Amino acid sequence: MMRCIKILIFFACLGPVVSLAWKAYSGGLGANPIEFITHATGDWTLIFLCVTLTISPLRILSKQYWLIRLRRMLGLFAFFYGVLHFTTYIWLDKFFDVHEMIKDVAKRPFITAGFTAFVLLIPLAITSTSGWIRRLGGKNWNLLHRLIYVSAVAAIIHYIWLVKADLTKPLRYAAVVGVLLGYRILAWSVPLIRSKKPIVFPRKPTEVPES
């Protein structure tokens, strides 16, 4: 059952990239295709960051504790769309001009913020395996993965700083991230709504713990 749900969600998460590929093939990317791809992949990175951040509060508030088993996949999809977004920038926008990219990262605050958001996701993607959870230990792993909060905030700042005048869309994301992070601050300060049921990390019974 769980396996079915996961497979279903996996393919659903591929929807946006399939849709982009189809639009590219059928000429539906509009007058400025590279801008379209950049915006779409950026949007989906933010959406997946928000969805990933929703899992923990949702599982506690709804008592659907199994939801945690979707979190890793959703987080990795956020990273996946982030990679696409970043690739669009270095390949289609800068054409691998390293010199210009370094100048960009140093000089343009919105690029600096976006770059930070992306780089912070890399260690999280690497340590997303069960092996790494074991190696780091649940406590350290949890601590490390709080970097997603910083990454989400940096991603929002990246969006706010790049628009010319209309802040509607970035502020919408900011509101969502604000609520999701606000919940956590509340949960830490008010012990009552703190999770009674700690996350149990999956561990294969046959494996011998490393010393």
Site for another protein, rule CB under 8 A? 27, 30-32, 34-35, 93, 95, 100, 103-104, 107-110, 161-162, 164-166, 168
Q: What are the structure tokens assigned to 205, written together?
A: 């019974």
How far are the Cα atoms of 17, 20, 105, 113, 190 from residue 154, in angstroms, in the given order?
23, 25, 14, 5, 26
194 by Cβ neighbours in 10 Å (0-12 / 13-18 / 19+) ranks as exposed
Minimum CB separation of residue 7 from another protein in Å reads: 35
In sequence order, the 6+-apart residues with CB closer than 8 A to the CB of 202 are 130
- Whichever of 5 and 34 has its CB closer to another protein, that residue is 34
- Whichever of 69 and 94 has its CB closer to another protein, that residue is 94
How far are the Cα atoms of 67, 144, 158, 197 from residue 43, in angstroms, in the given order?
24, 25, 12, 33
- Whichever of 94 and 134 has its CB closer to another protein, that residue is 94
Minimum CB separation of residue 172 from another protein in Å reads: 13
**207 residue type, one letter:** E
Minimum CB separation of residue 78 from another protein in Å reads: 25
CA–CA separation, 141 and 184 (whole Å) = 17
- Whichever of 35 and 136 has its CB closer to another protein, that residue is 35
Minimum CB separation of residue 69 from another protein in Å reads: 38
